[in-house]
Structure 1
Amino acid sequence: MNNILITSAGQRVSLVRAFQKEIRKVDKTGKVFTVDLNPILAPACHVSDGSKEICRVTDADYISKLLEICKNWEIKIIIPTIDTELIVLAENRELLLQNGIIPIISSEDFITKCRDKRIINEFFQENNIDIPQEVDKENVTFPMFIKPYDGSLSKDTFLIREASELTEYHFQNPKLMFMEYIDHDVYDEYTVDTYYDKNGELKCIVPRKRIFIRAGEVNKGVTSKNEIINYVKDNLSKIEGAVGCLTMQFFFHPIEKRIIAIEINSRFGGGYPLSYLAGANYPEWIIKEYIFNEEIPYFEDWEDNLLMLRYDDEVLVHNYEE
């Protein structure tokens, strides 16, 4: 069976539907299942072909429960969607492979780099990628931006415009990095959906401008064939250990053309459906690569200037009981 499992499905309705559409093009019996901490309250679990509750990824028996679910559903491919799952799946890659299950994840080493902003900054610099300049804690300049090296969802981030806004917490917390502030009124922010094949070779680059963000996820965005494409292609055409969809964050100065890298998330981002609808069909490529062992050619024929405007929709669950 060529069944697919999407973990921590939550609100990833579009991602589930994309994989359902693509697997059924090549295998009408193929199904897309989901797991979540609370599947009854996860919309994506209601549009999938079946869902189950699973414990937190940090629980000791997470992998054993995941393995049991995969065996019951005859899962061929696992698609993770949140950062905390990545390292756990990478650490257990061989166990999953031994059971005929392929987790679409980067190597443990590369995931570790992505999870630590200090290390990923070193990675960017080694590959001639510009980053925000570090601010000396003993000689601060304003404005500046403070963020934790292992943070996510904008937690513990601070825009500091003057000295009076600094506190002892900022200096005493060893996780906080003092960085150059990139002015959002001057720079455009882009998420770049890239696809790397199983050999770490770059196959697609889709910059999408983040016009409006809601709850940390793009709500309005537009694809753009701009200078970021060649910048990524020239400097990151191969990444050792990179696999599948990687979402890279950049700031771009539209006049000076300065491109500044912020981070890499080695998974599908919440805004990926825009790239999919523009023609960058990563679900299809994953199926071709990992189920049918096909090679993926470089692809750049996706739709430019495609605007996505998201809105709220409803999933109704009848006879719900708490």
Structure 2
Amino acid sequence: MENVNVLITSAGRRVSLVRSFQKELKRIVPTAKVFAADVKPMMSAACHIADGHFDVPKLDAPDYISVILYLCKKNNIGLIIPTIDTELLALAQNKAMFKAEGIEVVISSIKFVNACRNKRVIHDFFGSHDIKVANEYTKDNYVLPLFIKPIDGSRSVDTYVIKTEDDLTDYHFQNDKLMFLEYIDHDKFEEFTCDLYYSKDHQLRCIVPRKRLSVRDGEVYKALTVSNELVPYLKKHLKFVKGAVGCLTAQFFLHKTDASQIYAIEINPRFGGGYPLSYLSGANYTKWLIDEYLLEKTIEDKFDVWERDLLMIRYDDEILVHGFKG
């Protein structure tokens, strides 16, 4: 293999993701490296943990893709793992160009990425798969309480629970990006994030539901793997998704006492911040990506490989950078 190294883009604080690729990659090729890229790598914990790091332009810079391609070719990188929503479309649009250079970008199709980035479109997607979503109201005909979120948001930014008319402001009505949605009662429903693995042929191979026990800054802080109705339900409704590959993070509400009541929230076609729990439970998406994209192996169904009722409690740690000049 020529291009055996891996690049994690927009690495930020994804230390656990970098370490998982280091562990799995070096079992196969001990000399292989996992690189990380970020706009400010010296301020990125994941970049310091990686075997090497790159300073790259901002995602909206015209040379972002060309710089990534240059770095990959220069450093024998054969696999790119994107991590944040705002880089997905550009990488999907240029996936063929990277592949022509022997570099695989693990990203879903342009059409599917676009659908995931637009909450109204992904609601239509769920509907086409017979999966319920919260009803969307018009801004002159709604029912309280309601939930407001942007059509293109992420990390729970610009979201609101509206319980009374006094909670509504001109901003909510005037911002065309904000959706007025049926409120799903958290006293009756529990929220789960499911890590889904799709093989190259767009077949669902694994599902790990994670119960979100505590969230901080939009990312799960405490979580529990749970084997529940979501596993057979998603096997049935999302067994094949055209254009979907790699790790997808999908969110659902499941009724506490009536497992037949399931509502979909959204899908992010990338690794989520809580993936380390799925990885440590035995759902080794990291290895499967290396197998598929670097070793050209076929991935079969692996629905039963992960540990149930595994609790993850995260904590802060320190990375020291000596001689830092800012």
TM-score band by shorter chain is over 0.9
What residue is the counterpart of 2:192 in the other structure? 190
Aligned to 1:319: 323
* Equivalent residue number for residue 281 of structure 2: 278
- 1:294 is paired with a residue whose SS is coil
Which is worse superposed, 306-315 or 181-190?
A: 181-190
Between the aligned partners of 1:217 and 1:207, the Cα distance in structure 2 is 15
Amino acid of the structure 2 residue aligned with 1:225 = S
- Provide the aligned length of Structure 1 versus Structure 2: 322
Cα distance in 2 between the residues matched to 1:318 and 1:23: 28
Q: Distance in 2 between matches of 1:150 and 1:107?
A: 18
Instruction: Give the match's secondary structure for 2:132.
Output: coil
TM superposition shift of 1:170: 1.8
Deviations 1:64-108 (A, max 9, x none): 111111111110000000011110001111111111111000000
| Partners of 1:215 and 1:86 in 2: CA distance | 21
2:222 corresponding residue in structure 1: 220
Distance 1:175 1:17 in 2: 37
2: CA distance between counterparts of 1:44 and 1:139?
A: 46
Counterpart position of 1:298: 301
In 1, the alpha carbon distance for the partners of 2:66 and 2:159 equals 36
**CA deviation vs aligned residue, 1:292-321 (integer Å, no higher than 9, x gap):** 111111112210000000011111111111
1:210 aligned residue: 212
Structure 2 counterpart of 1:103: 105
Please, which of 165, 168, 173 is the counterpart of residue 167 of structure 2? 165
Task: Give, as a single letter, the amino acid of the residue that structure 2 aligns with 1:60.
Answer: P
Among 78, 86, 93, the alignment partner of 2:80 is 78
CA distance in 1, matches of 2:57, 2:324: 21
Counterpart Cα distance in 1 of 2:53 and 2:183:
43
Q: What amino acid maps onto 1:95 in structure 2? A: M
Long gaps (5+) in structure 1: none
| Aligned pairs (5 A) from 1:1-322 | 1-257=3-259, 258-299=261-302, 300-322=304-326
Q: Name the amino acid aligned to 1:232.
A: L
Name the aligned partner's letter for residue 19 of structure 1. Answer: F
CA distance in 1 between partners of 2:168 and 2:324 (Å): 49
Quick one: percent identity of the two aligned structures? 52
Amino acid at match of 1:237: K
Structure 1 residue matching 2:137: 3-state secondary structure: coil
Q: Counterparts of 1:315 and 1:124 in 2: how far apart (Å)?
A: 41
CA distance in 1, matches of 2:103, 2:245: 16
Does the Cα contact within 8 Å between 2:155 and 2:219 map onto a contact in 1?
Answer: no
Find the aligned partners of 1:278 and 1:25 in 2 and give their Cα distance.
19
Using the size of structure 2 for normalisation, the TM-score is 0.97
Query: Would the aligned equivalents of 2:81 and 2:105 in 1 still touch at CA under 8 Å?
Result: yes
Matches of 2:8 and 2:225, distance apart in 1? 25
SS where residue 190 of structure 1 aligns? strand
| CA distance in structure 2 between the partners assigned to 1:77 and 1:217 by the alignment | 25
User: Larger deviation: 254-263 or 268-277?
Assistant: 254-263
Give 3-state SS (helix, strand or coil) of 1:71's partner: helix
- Kindly state the Cα deviation for residue 204 of structure 1 after the two structures are TM-superposed: 0.2
Classify the secondary structure of the residue corresponding to 1:105. coil
The one-letter code sitting in structure 1 at the alignment partner of 2:270 is R
The answer for unaligned runs of 5 or more in structure 2 is: none
The alignment's C-alpha RMSD in Å is: 1.0
CA offset at residue 135 of structure 1? Answer: 2.4
CA distance in 1: counterparts of 2:273 and 2:156, whole angstroms? 15
In the alignment, the residues of structure 1 paired with residue 24 and residue 214 of structure 2 have an alpha-carbon distance, to the nearest angstrom, of 29
Deviation at 1:184, TM superposition (A): 2.2
Q: Offset of 1:168 from its aligned partner?
A: 2.6
Distance 1:76 1:142 in 2: 51
Give 1:172 deviation, angstroms: 2.1
Q: Is the 8 A contact 2:15 2:49 kept in 1?
A: yes
Q: Distance in 2 between matches of 1:184 and 1:8?
A: 33
1:108-157 deviation line (CA, Å, top 9, x unaligned): 00000000000000000110111112224322211001111111122221
TM-score, normalized by length of structure 1?
Answer: 0.98
Counterpart amino acid of 1:50? G
